[in-house]
Amino acid sequence: KLICTRWDPEKRPTIFQQLSLLGLKIPHIIAVGRLDFLSEGLMVLTNDGDLARALELPSSEIERTYRVRVFGRRFDEKKLDQLRRGFKIKGRKYGPYVTEIVKRQTSNTWLHMKLYEGKNNEIRRVMRKFSLRVNRLIRQSYGQYTLGLVPNPNDLAEVRMTKQIKTLLFKYYKEKAQESQERYHKEKAEHLYLQTQKQEALEAEQETKQKKLSEAYVDLSQTPSDKPLGLGERLLRG
């Protein structure tokens, strides 16, 4: 078993150590849609951060398929219907899930599930709602990439970007560019608003000063001719 992290405090083997053993020397490898230590199956790896982000975004609605084994034969049609309709756990929406019962065994039930978002420990959390324990979880596909592309456990296969992934990445770049443009215009508008506010404050300050100066001015033409001029009046007149 491998854990999907770069460093594990419990010293368990990681997928990145395995990549080194397989001779992969590409820097900055990112695991897309990580699996927990108790899960198994397909892992998609890339050194393109934008691609990783585009593949993980809920809005991308990339299909992930899983083969799930739950302990017990209590998984009935009622639970199946709830999964297909979706529900909330602590106010957070889960599902709907495309779910089929594959096989019933003495102590377990095998399910086939399709997810389009991939929350952390989503399937295990969903099954706990039904008081069921997942004792095996296998990711079979991520988008158009399937487990069949990798010949052996802990092995590696290089694949090309599919048309679906290229389209998704193009959409991601387009949205990022639009967000960037919107942010640019927003920043320009805020800058202009602050400039306007500053100018208005300056004009108001100048107007106040002018008003005070006008009030202080004495119209000496109204001063009686027989009254001696004061110092301030001389200065203003002179």
**Which of 36, 50, 76, 81 does the annotation list as catalytic?**
36
Q: 3-state SS string over the chain?
A: CCECCCCCCCCCCEHHHHHHHCCCCCCCCEEECCCCCCCEECCEEECCHHHHHHHHCHHHCCCEEEEEEEECCCCCHHHHHHHHHCEEECCEEECCCEEEEEEECCCEEEEEEEECCCCCCHHHHHHHHCCCCEEEEEEEEECCEEHHHCCCCCCCCCCCCCHHHHHHHHHHHHHHHHHHHHHHHHHHHHHHHHHHHHHHHHHHHHHHHHHHHHHHCCCHHHCCCCCCCCHHHHHHHC
Note if 36 is an active site residue. yes
**Which residues are identified as catalytic?**
36
